[in-house]
Structure 1
């Protein structure tokens, strides 16, 4: 083997190594995206920035503090990111870390939409009050912790049974994460807006409240009238008919999902199509 052949093999090995590292980093970003870990990563970036500034301007005390934080940072990160690390290891063990595709995510979202629409139609006709909040980019872990964790696959039957009156979980909100019912009987923050109609009750105020602090989509079924409403970005859309509700939910969830897929498509290998 000539020296030039050895150099080519080394170059190819380094290229593959870099691509694999970037792919793993990308998958890790996909796992922590939409969770509290994103805000913590921003905090780490600020600490690194302060450390650089303190070294440049010879701020000894501040530099020593940042150095101590960075020295013990690995232990702190392992503790703080424990849920995200556990989820990554679980996905790796199930073989889902590398096999999850955009098409599968889109199919899951379509099933979620159909399950919600079917459940809401059933409850609206029978005037069963319901409050369903769907997580998107902003993590809702803090609100999930206030309820009873379920981690169950979404189905219309499960949603209906949760909100049946006088059952243990009917009082409060259901929070959906991707294709799962994360928790039920959750407490959501009430909106303090003075422009909310006096005829709206606690469910509508809670739905508006969560839409003001997150990018979630929240569905309300009125117990008094059976009307269906939807909140997003601090906006309340009231008295939606079945088809209008379905279309709005599809636009918010499916279009949102496709936008994410388009933005992430540039990471995919183009050779996969022919390979």
Structure 2
């Protein structure tokens, strides 16, 4: 056993070791969940950029690059504000999920079941009339940043079979080539980038809210 580790273990009580282990586990879990939420989003790219800035700051400090260090120090001092501004949607979304899952898990599952039932009924109805549709279920990454850029529109309405069918029926005034499923807020006429070059079907996006 390394000498430093042996000294550390001998100097700590069982309670202190358990507390240290819990501390490390919580930090690991928070970082892990944050990476899952940011994975595949533009926020992830921004986060990598901020990480590069911090790495450059460390390098400048080690090698005493005065000019670079002064610039990086100014950026680092504003890092907290930059993080809040850049990740405000992801922070809000994460807090909503923590609250809804920790305290209202049963209610959230009930809402999810209702949404799934509505999607299944709508898909069955559309298939019966031979109408194609793309329905996207939101996971950890959201599509908020694509609204507007890809001509998305927002409908503040509860998800239902009738609403989804109306989005895909060509004769309907809300006809949209694609639609993703949420509990309340629905973006329609939103074509995700991966589909934009090879599909003519409407897309609907449903954003789950607690």
User: Is the 1:34–1:139 Cα contact (8 Å) retained in structure 2?
Assistant: no
User: Is the 1:174–1:184 Cα contact (8 Å) retained in structure 2?
Assistant: yes
Alpha-carbon displacement from aligned partner over 1:152-196 (angstroms, at most 9, x marks no partner): 67554432122234544313432346x7774112255642xxxx7
Alignment equivalent of 1:185, drawn from 184, 189, 209: 189
Question: How many aligned residue pairs are there?
Answer: 185
Alignment equivalent of 1:84, drawn from 84, 90, 108: 90
Alignment equivalent of 2:200, drawn from 198, 203, 223: 203
What residue in structure 1 maps to residue 143 of structure 2? Answer: 140
Alpha-carbon displacement from aligned partner over 1:223-270 (angstroms, at most 9, x marks no partner): xxxxxxxxxxxxxxxxxxxxxxxxxxxxxxxxxxxxxxxxxxxxxxxx
Which residues of 2 match residues 1-275 of structure 1 at below 5 A? 7-94=13-100, 96-97=101-102, 112=116, 118-128=121-131, 130-134=133-137, 140-145=143-148, 146-150=151-155, 156-176=161-181, 182-187=186-191, 190-191=196-197, 203=200
Structure with the larger strand share: 1
Change (3 A) 1:121 1:8: closer
Superposed displacement of residue 144, structure 1? 3.1
User: Is the 1:173–1:184 Cα contact (8 Å) retained in structure 2?
Assistant: yes
Alpha-carbon displacement from aligned partner over 1:119-164 (angstroms, at most 9, x marks no partner): 3443244254644445567653332343223476755443212223
- For residues 24 and 175 of structure 2, what CA distance do their matches in structure 1 show? 50
CA-based RMSD:
3.9
User: Is the 2:37–2:140 Cα contact (8 Å) retained in structure 1?
Assistant: no
| Uncovered stretches (5+) of structure 1, i.e. residues with no partner | 197-201, 208-217, 220-275
Q: Secondary structure at the match of 2:13?
A: helix
Superposed displacement of residue 15, structure 1? 1.8
| Uncovered stretches (5+) of structure 2, i.e. residues with no partner | 1-9, 205-210
Structure 1-normalised TM-score?
A: 0.52
- Greater displacement, 166-175 / 78-87: 166-175
Change (3 A) 1:136 1:84: closer
Structure 2-normalised TM-score?
A: 0.64
